[in-house]
Structure 1
Amino acid sequence: MSGCAEQGLSNTEEKALIGAAGGAVLGQAIGGNTKSTVAGAALGGVAGALYGSQQDKQRKYYKDQYGHTYYLDSQGRAHYVD
């Protein structure tokens, strides 16, 4: 998943996928059936999307000398969004 930003997924989409996967695993572990797995995936996906959306809103965007928009991650790497 760490390469998702370079492949065009937004932070919101990436966190939704991670949340859905984690929710599905947790739902299966708790309920032990398909209904619990699907419910866990849905709840995890929504929670992940909300978290990612909040992170996107706090992210600072910059423009390079060519007019392309990018942001810096916590390690100082540039990720272009256009």
Structure 2
Amino acid sequence: MVYPGWYRGRTVHIHLKVHIDRSTVLTTQLYFDEALTDEIFSTVEPYTEHSGRDTRNDTDSIHDPTGTTVTARQGDRVLAAVNAGVDV
């Protein structure tokens, strides 16, 4: 996956939908640690060309810290994971 970008008024995030039995049972968003986002956006092309991000996790009106991914480096890659529980 390519690291997600941003758009005005929102922090960096990915939309996630969980489907069980062909029905959407969870629609949520996944977030990233600000230190990782800052590093990616300041050192990796083409992110360095798109400056001016106006919203961070702590100022995003929708951000929920329970959706923040846990990340680990693997060479030049970053692996991200999150546990999503669905009560059916």
Alignment TM class, shorter chain as reference: 0.3 to 0.5
Q: State the structure with more CA Rg.
A: 1
The structure that is helix-richer by fraction is 1
The structure that is strand-richer by fraction is 2
What TM-score do you get using the length of structure 1 for normalisation?
0.36
What TM-score do you get using the length of structure 2 for normalisation?
0.34
